[in-house]
Amino acid sequence: MISAGDFRNGITIELDNNIFQIIEFQHVKPGKGAAFVRTKLKNIKSGGVVERTFRPTEKCPQARIDRNDMQYLYSDGDLYHFMNMENYEQIALNQESIGDALKFVKENDMVKVCSHNGNVFAVEPPLFVELEITDTEPGFKGDTATGATKPAVVETGATVYVPLFVEQGDVIKIDTRTGDYLSRA
């Protein structure tokens, strides 16, 4: 159990039969009345964000989230297959539980599979990946004072906006949280 006075960003709690992660919290001490904690909570399973206030003495059970390193093997239709590299157990997840997490992940790459009480609810890709560009228009000379970009398709099929000097066949580094181009590899 964790009291609302001890809330910090990133902590996961169980509330109303759901699991929430604290995105923001603020201890408020008004001139009149009792102090309270104002929070923004993200529902881990649905992704929805709610705002809620707590008394500092209120207690919530802290949720235990398991993050296992697994290798992404392949997809067949709407199922995605992963393997635990320690015991070689394989699991198959559907598109709903994965979402856009594998947009920048190639086969045989390592990901983190997040679960609560054995129920998988999310897949976390690595923070940065290096992918080869399979299709992009050639860069053109001209007005580049504003840092012009062009769309490029990487080997996983995702589209990334890259600077004009990047060519087809180049390997680039991408931030998977935002989908932004970082540099050439």
Looking up residue 21, the CATH number of its domain turns out to be 2.30.30.30
Same domain? For 8 and 56 the reply is yes
pLDDT of residue 145: 62
Q: Which segments of the chain have a pLDDT < 50? A: none
Same domain? For 170 and 140 the reply is yes
pLDDT of residue 144: 60
Same domain? For 106 and 143 the reply is no
Say if CB 142 and CB 88 are below 8 A apart.
no
Distances in Å between the alpha carbon of 119 and those of 97, 113, 114, 136? 10, 10, 8, 40
CB atoms within 10 A of CB 9: 11
CA distance 183 to 9: 30
Same domain? For 118 and 162 the reply is no
Total domains, the chain: 3
Q: pTM higher than 0.75 for the full model?
A: no
Same domain? For 78 and 119 the reply is yes
Domain containing 99: what range?
66-124
Looking up residue 111, the CATH number of its domain turns out to be 2.40.50.140
Same domain? For 29 and 78 the reply is no
pLDDT of residue 177: 82
The burial of 166, by beta-carbon neighbours within 10 Å (0-12 exposed, 13-18 middle, 19 or more buried), is given as: buried
pLDDT of residue 137: 84
Same domain? For 133 and 175 the reply is yes
Domain boundary among 10, 45, 60: 60
Domain boundary among 21, 36, 60: 60
